[in-house]
């Protein structure tokens, strides 16, 4: 955890132009949406972290403390804290930064790399040994959880930041300082910080979350409806971590450069679904290019109920009326990746500019409270 604000001279980050959509989501799935100017630069994919994959933790004595720290607030799960520790110290409880000839000079300390001034405010004797130390893994893990929750709360309460991705901004604040996040109205334009967030997000999903699970502990998916479903989902999941690219994706793979953040090649929401369906059916089913047209009954598309949906089925959403305003003018589309007895709990998708392909929790009101429908691809 390093505050770069005082050490690096950088130009003010340019504002980003995104399409209108609630909470920034899926702004560029359809070209007909109206742009607005937004002074928040989001990076990484922070949706859909699952329960902690304890087998990835190098010291099993730390697992209960990670789980306890991950239960302090809903925005900061244990899987995220574990990924953050790997990024900060590579699980070395004695890690120290800013050393000269072996002498510690006041830099970041311990497993979670706290600066001394921050530690003086946040550190407690959670280990119960009478010694409050950032080099004690228990003290460090619990302090990391408290501090990340404090940052998330501060960001949520800030009108200039609350519309952004709270977890991404909390990670940015941990790395660069909350003052830097507030100064730039989002993720600061520091190279280290902008690399820090997607790196942790990907680790949290791919290494430190139980595979196929969702935030909140939803069950691992049961068997897919058939080999086509399994193939579609497998093709899509192989692209995890690629950037969202407006208009990106062809029948043969990722392409394009996103106009917002300049990353690419990659996929947008409908480009990913079209690619996964085409490849998953060995070229036998070619969907239309945009989400509005993909979620329609056709020769190879059948609408199904939520209770019938299985991993590999498609799920489409209407977030606004910019595509025509009708109930089936879908503005976003993804692929179901996990279910429970109550219905789908997770999807794999290309979310929006500045984020990466990954998982999203379908049990959130953000998804359940808007018109949506499920579809199955068949030959």
* Peptide bond just before 284 cis, omega within 30 deg: no
Q: Tell me the backbone φ, ψ of residue 126, rounded to 5 degrees.
A: -65, -25
DSSP H/E element including 192: helix 191-206
Residues 167 and 259 in one domain: no
Residue 317 structure tokens: 């959403």
Residues 305 and 202 in one domain: no
Number of structural domains (the chain) is: 2
Specify the pLDDT at position 215.
39
Specify the pLDDT at position 207.
87
Residues 58 and 186 in one domain: yes
| Contacting residues for 82 by C-beta, under 8 A, at least 6 apart | 52, 56, 57, 66, 203, 204, 208
Alpha carbon distances (Å) from 74 to 78, 216, 293, 308, 314: 10, 9, 36, 30, 28
Specify the pLDDT at position 167.
83
Q: How many CA atoms lie within 13 A of 138 on its CB side?
A: 12
Residues in the chain where the model's pLDDT stays below 70: 1-48, 98-106, 162-164, 211-225, 320-328
Residues 192 and 234 in one domain: no
Residues 126 and 250 in one domain: no
Domain boundaries, position 81: 54-206
Residues 298 and 202 in one domain: no
DSSP annotation of 151 reads H
Specify the pLDDT at position 88.
95
Specify the pLDDT at position 1.
66
Specify the pLDDT at position 249.
97
CB 93 within 8 A of CB 110: yes
| Domain termination site, one of 206, 241, 264 | 206
**260 inside domain:** yes
Residues 194 and 334 in one domain: no
Strands (E), the chain: 16-19, 35-38, 99-100, 103-104, 301-304, 314-317, 332-340, 343-349, 358-361, 372-377
């Amino acid at each position: 955890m390093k505050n770069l604000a005082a050490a690096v001279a950088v130009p003010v980050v340019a504002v980003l132009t995104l399409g209108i959509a609630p909470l920034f989501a899926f702004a560029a799935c359809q070209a007909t949406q109206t742009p607005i100017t937004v002074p928040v630069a989001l990076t990484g994919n922070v949706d859909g972290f699952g329960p902690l994959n304890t087998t990835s933790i190098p010291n099993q004595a730390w697992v209960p403390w990670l789980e306890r720290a991950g239960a302090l607030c809903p925005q900061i799960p244990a899987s995220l804290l574990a990924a953050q520790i790997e990024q900060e110290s590579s699980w070395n409880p004695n890690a120290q930064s800013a050393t000269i000839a072996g002498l510690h000079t006041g830099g970041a300390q311990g497993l979670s790399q706290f600066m001394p001034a921050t530690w003086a405010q946040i550190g407690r004797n959670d280990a119960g040994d009478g010694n409050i130390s950032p080099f004690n893994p228990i003290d460090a893990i619990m302090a990391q959880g408290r501090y990340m929750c404090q940052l998330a709360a501060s960001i949520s309460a800030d009108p200039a930041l609350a519309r952004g991705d709270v977890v991404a901004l909390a990670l940015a604040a941990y790395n660069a300082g909350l003052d830097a996040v507030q100064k730039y109205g989002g993720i600061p334009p520091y190279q280290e910080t902008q690399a820090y967030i997607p790196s942790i997000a990907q680790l949290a999903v791919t290494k430190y979350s139980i595979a196929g699970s969702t935030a909140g502990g939803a069950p691992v998916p049961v068997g897919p409806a058939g080999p086509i479903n399994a193939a579609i989902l497998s093709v899509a999941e192989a692209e995890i971590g690629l950037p969202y690219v407006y208009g990106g994706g062809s029948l043969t793979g990722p392409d394009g450069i996103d106009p917002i953040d300049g990353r690419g090649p990659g996929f947008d929401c409908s480009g990913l679904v079209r690619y996964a369906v085409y490849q998953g059916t060995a070229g036998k089913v070619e969907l239309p290019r945009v989400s509005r047209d993909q979620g329609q009954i056709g020769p190879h598309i059948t609408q199904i109920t939520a209770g019938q949906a299985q991993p590999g089925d498609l799920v489409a959403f209407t977030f606004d009326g910019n595509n025509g305003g009708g109930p089936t003018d879908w503005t976003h589309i993804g692929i179901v990746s996990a279910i429970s007895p109550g219905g789908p709990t997770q999807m794999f998708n290309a979310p929006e500019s500045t984020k990466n392909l990954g998982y999203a929790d379908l049990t959130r009101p953000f998804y359940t409270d808007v018109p949506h429908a499920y579809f199955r691809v068949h030959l």
